[in-house]
Amino acid sequence: MSNEDALVMADMFSKAPKTIEVTVAKWSTRLDDGCPSCVTKHLAQAIELLGNSDSAGWCTGAVLMNRAAILLHEARHGYPGHRYHAIGCLAEAELYFVADAEEIRRIRIAVAKDLGVSDLVTYCGAFSLSDVDLFGDKADEAWAHVYEALRELPSSDQENHYALQDLISCNAEPPDVVMKLTKVLKNVVDTYCLPGGEL
């Protein structure tokens, strides 16, 4: 390769989208057996959102769109494999938003092709969905975090799996949900000896 070819190639790579280096530890933590620290983050976010919400009710389609947004955010911040979970959430959301299914499909395809991984709001703005409220309210976002906490739980943690699945299947009011989520959060912190002290 000539010096001129090398300079052209270097210039081409310098204009390529920057990616975040992913360490083996991050991949193995995520793929092998969950991430208790991530579980606590998602549960704390759900508790905060539901604590500021009038209702704990949720819309499945909006929860899926919020999960896709969360997963794309995480894909941009060092966990590129989360992009594939986001693609799955978008594919499922197509079933719930029939009138907007074609636009959501176009977004899903764009996400699948975009190795730079933009955020979901950018994708929605690029299509005709910027005016449509597909994300619901704070309760929908909170439940998206509950589902992400469930996904991040180590598979061996049956007690907390059952507690979150039970919570997802019930129709409780915000104070009850927040109390139950706080109990699971405390249990995760205690089970995995995570720093943070008393909750």
Which of residues 185 and 135 earns the better pLDDT score? 185
Tokens of 52: 């500021």
What tens digit of pLDDT does each residue of 96-119 get? 998 899 999 998 998 888 766 677
CA–CA dist 12, 83 (Å, integer): 25
Tokens of 51: 């604590």
What pLDDT shows up at residue 171? 65
Q: Does the pLDDT value for residue 29 go beyond 50? A: no
For residues 145 and 153, is the Cβ–Cβ distance under 8 A? no
What pLDDT shows up at residue 50? 87
DSSP string, 121-154: HHHHHHTT-TTS--S--HHHHHHHHHHHHHHHS-
In sequence order, which residues have a C-beta less than 8 Å from that of residue 136 and are 6 or more positions away?
58, 59, 61, 62, 63, 65, 66
Q: Does the pLDDT value for residue 185 go beyond 80? A: yes
Q: Does the pLDDT value for residue 90 go beyond 80? A: yes
CA–CA dist 191, 125 (Å, integer): 42
Which of residues 47 and 53 earns the better pLDDT score? 47
State which H helix or E strand residue 190 sits in: helix 174-191
What tens digit of pLDDT does each residue of 152-184 get? 999 889 999 999 999 888 866 777 889 999 999
DSSP string, 33-81: T--HHHHHHHHHHHHHHHHT-S-----HHHHHHHHHHHHHHHHHTT-TT
As a whole number, the mean pLDDT across the chain is 78
What pLDDT shows up at residue 121? 76
Q: Does the pLDDT value for residue 6 go beyond 70? A: no
Percent of the chain whose predicted confidence (pLDDT) is above 70: 76
What pLDDT shows up at residue 137? 86
Averaged pLDDT, 121-150: 80
List Cα–Cα distances, 193 to 37, 102, 106, 117, 181, in angstroms.
10, 46, 43, 34, 18
In sequence order, which residues have a C-beta less than 8 Å from that of residue 70 and are 6 or more positions away?
144, 145, 148
Tokens of 196: 């943070």
Q: Please identify which residue in the block is written with the tokens 């989360």.
A: 82
- pTM here is 0.75
What pLDDT shows up at residue 18? 36
SS3 state of residue 18: coil
Averaged pLDDT, 179-198: 84
> How many CB atoms lie under 10 A from the CB of residue 42?
24
Averaged pLDDT, 50-77: 87
Tokens of 4: 């001129």
Averaged pLDDT, 183-197: 85
